[in-house]
Structure 1
């Protein structure tokens, strides 16, 4: 019947995707290639995250608020690129939900570590950078392991 959704048609649209590759190919990349691509993507996303953090701090937002916003923008960038380029995965509602749950976990880990380190480290020029690097490194390891082992194996 026209206008009636069929069982194979989604009720809600999939998340917005960016065209990082011409087409998604159903091929597995080896671990080394995935790690390299994950690190490159993470580096770009970290630049987005840290750059936005500095801007938001400069305009006077409290650290936790600025870090929360920059984390969301940075991890969204990472997901969109990793899904297409690093893991070559087709769009999937289950995968997207799993990534949101994972990012909620790594959000708590990253913002928690970063905020804690910013409160206990000396008020020096390197404090924000060191806190960012430690928190980002921890979140990156968690993200790669869970994404490779679980999320990008979902259909």
Structure 2
């Protein structure tokens, strides 16, 4: 495993923690599941951009290049995670938070690939980060 992947995982754990906390609080307060999912995901997404840009990928690329890509990637991931969440919850009959956990895992795979190769692509890496690329 590369250092970058480990950092992405650590950031992902923080994002997931924020996402789950907000999601659990909103659904416990009676918010509709899909509304809670969108709000919770946005909280994790903000944390993700800031930490992955500065720490994981050490990007020096223009924010005007990265931000639209980051938003598009995360909207795609949000749609995928929401679809999987609903299918697991309503189609497979799994408990809500287990469905959320499984859907989040699937989203993390898509998010890493998109972040690594498209959002924070090689042209935006600092020389320090490039050295740990296999």
Shared fold by TM > 0.5?
yes
Q: Verify: 1:107 aligned to 2:78, yes or no.
A: yes
Q: CA deviation at 1:132?
A: 1.3
What corresponds to 2:127 in structure 1? none
Counterparts of 2:30 and 2:120, CA distance in 1: 38
What corresponds to 1:131 in structure 2? 99
Q: Verify: 1:148 aligned to 2:133, yes or no.
A: no
Q: Which structure features the higher share of helix residues?
A: 2
Runs of 4+ off more than 3 Å: none
What corresponds to 2:131 in structure 1? none
**Higher relative contact order by CA 8 Å / sep ≥ 6: 1 or 2?**
2
Q: Verify: 1:38 aligned to 2:8, yes or no.
A: yes
Q: CA deviation at 1:146?
A: 1.3
Question: Structure 2: where are the runs of 5+ without partners?
Answer: 125-134
Residue 61 of structure 1, aligned match among 31, 43, 52? 31
Counterparts of 1:122 and 1:144, CA distance in 2: 28
What corresponds to 2:128 in structure 1? none
Q: CA deviation at 1:77?
A: 1.1
Counterpart contact for 1:89–1:152, Cα < 8 Å = yes
Question: Structure 1: where are the runs of 5+ without partners?
Answer: 1-30
Structure with higher Rg: it is 1
> How many residues align structurally?
122
What corresponds to 2:59 in structure 1? 89
Counterparts of 1:115 and 1:56, CA distance in 2: 17
Alignment RMSD (CA, Å): 1.5
